[in-house]
């Protein structure tokens, strides 16, 4: 099993990115997490060039397709998800990358309720399976924690590990269901 984590922030000091890096460190060896780093390299979505499959888009798509599940965290800008993340999601709409893909939504700022709801709406429209038990809100920004602080915080690490277990369980259930469907 392998997971892909995507931060909606391009900031190097982003609390969402720090949360995902700490999450990758807290993962078990049998469920590695790769943090996607190419969000800023994606061209602006343009249907006129979609068929050319730009290299950064192809890379993201292949990483999403190869992942058993996604973990997405986004800061809130103007009551919504970031433009960079929305752009990445727009590139994936025309593909099967999100169809039935288990997704955990992480929120590093409890006040960022609009972005969290908007992200849930977008990925649901893309036919992803948001796993509620693995979607968590942690007050990372409120405590001013960086990656190391998140990793070391006992309450946050327990919440993150529980979310990862729930996401792994959702992947296992999906595999079992798919296996049953193909054998019937």
Could you report the per-residue pLDDT of 31-40, keeping only the tens digit for each?
A: 999 999 999 9
pLDDT confidence of 184, banded at 50, 70, 90? low
Calpha distance 119→176 (Å, rounded): 27
Q: How far apart are CA 43 and CA 50, in angstroms?
A: 10
Query: Which pLDDT score, from 0 to 100, does residue 21 have?
Result: 98
Whether 81 has a pLDDT exceeding 70, the answer reads: yes
List the CATH number of the domain containing 59. 3.40.50.360
Confidence of residue 77 (pLDDT cuts 50, 70, 90): very high
pLDDT at 138 over 70: yes
Decide: 119 and 86 in contact? Cβ < 8 Å.
no
Rounded average pLDDT over 86-105: 97
Give me the residues paired with residue 107 across strands. 137
Residue 134: other Cβ atoms inside 10 A? 24
Total tally of structural domains belonging to the chain: 1
Find tokens 């058993």 and name the residue. 68
- State the residue range of the domain holding 134: 3-183
The pLDDT tens digits of the residues spanning 152-178 come to 999 999 999 999 999 999 999 999 988
CB 105 within 8 A of CB 139: no
Mean pLDDT of the chain: 95
Reduced to 3 states (helix: H, G, I; strand: E, B; else coil), residue 183 is helix
Residue 44 · residue 87 · CB < 8 Å = yes
Instruction: Using DSSP, state whether 61 is helix, strand or coil.
Output: helix
pLDDT for residue 6: 98
């Amino acid at each position: 099993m392998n997971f892909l984590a995507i931060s909606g922030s391009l900031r190097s000091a982003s609390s969402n990115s720090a949360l995902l890096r700490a999450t990758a460190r807290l993962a078990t060896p049998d469920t590695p997490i790769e943090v996607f780093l190419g969000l800023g390299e994606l061209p602006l979505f343009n249907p006129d060039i979609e068929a050319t499959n730009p290299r950064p888009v192809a890379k993201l798509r292949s990483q999403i397709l190869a992942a058993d599940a996604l973990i997405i965290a986004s800061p809130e800008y103007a009551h919504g998800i970031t433009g960079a993340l929305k752009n990445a999601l727009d590139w994936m709409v025309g593909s099967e990358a999100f169809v039935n893909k288990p997704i955990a939504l992480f929120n590093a700022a409890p006040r960022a309720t609009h972005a969290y709801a908007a992200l849930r709406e977008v990925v649901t429209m893309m036919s992803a399976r948001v796993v509620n038990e693995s979607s968590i809100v942690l007050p990372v920004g409120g405590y001013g924690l960086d990656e190391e602080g998140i990793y070391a915080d006992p309450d946050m690490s327990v919440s993150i590990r529980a979310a990862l277990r729930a996401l792994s369980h959702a992947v296992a259930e999906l595999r079992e269901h798919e296996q049953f469907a193909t054998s019937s």
